Amino acid sequence: MTGDLPLAGTTVVELGDSASAPFAGKILAELGAEVWKVERPTGDSSRGWGPSMWQGSGAAFHALNRGKRCLRIDIKDQEQLTTLHELIATRADVFLHNLRPGSAARYGLDADSLRITKPELIYAEVGAFGHTGPMNTLPGYDPLMQAFSGIMNITGEEGQAPVRAGVSIVDFGTGMWVVIGILAALFRRQAKHTGATVNSSLLETAIAWMSIGIANYTADGDLGGRHGSGVAFIVPHRAYEATDGHLVISCANDALFGRLCAALGHPEWADDARFATNAARLTHRGEIDRLIGERIATQTREQWQRILQDAGIPVAPTQNTAEIVAHEQTRALGILGKPTADEIAVAGLPLSFDGKRPDPLHSARAIGADNDLLEQTVGGS
Question: What's the confidence (pLDDT) of residue 2?
Answer: 59
CB of 198 within 8 A of CB of 122?
yes
Question: What's the confidence (pLDDT) of residue 1?
Answer: 58
326 lies in some domain: no
- Backbone φ and ψ of 113, nearest 5°: -65, -45
Clarify whether residues 353 and 270 are in a common domain.
no
CB of 139 within 8 A of CB of 101?
yes
Return the amino acid letter for 195.
Answer: G
Q: What is the CATH number of the domain that holds 294?
A: 3.30.1540.10
How many domains is the chain built from? 2
Instruction: Indicate the Cα dihedral angle 111, 113, 114, 120, nearest 10°.
Output: 70
Clarify whether residues 192 and 275 are in a common domain.
no
Q: CA separation (Å) from 42 to 27, 48, 61, 71?
A: 24, 10, 14, 11
Clarify whether residues 342 and 266 are in a common domain.
no
Question: What's the confidence (pLDDT) of residue 3?
Answer: 67
Clarify whether residues 178 and 108 are in a common domain.
yes
CB of 324 within 8 A of CB of 315?
no
Rounded CA-CA distance 169/117 in Å is: 36
Clarify whether residues 67 and 180 are in a common domain.
yes
Question: What's the confidence (pLDDT) of residue 9?
Answer: 96
Question: What's the confidence (pLDDT) of residue 379?
Answer: 64
Q: Note down the domain range covering 365.
A: 2-209+337-378
Question: What's the confidence (pLDDT) of residue 335?
Answer: 94
DSSP at 353: B
Clarify whether residues 280 and 249 are in a common domain.
yes
Q: Beta-carbon neighbour count of residue 216 at 10 Å?
A: 16
282 lies in some domain: yes
Flag residues of the chain having pLDDT under 70.
Answer: 1-3, 379-381
Q: CB pairs under 8 A, 24+ apart, for 148-154?
A: 148/203, 148/206, 149/203, 149/206, 149/207, 149/209, 149/210, 150/210, 150/213, 150/224, 151/206, 151/209, 151/210, 153/223, 153/224, 153/226, 154/213, 154/224, 154/225, 154/226, 154/227, 154/232
DSSP at 154: G
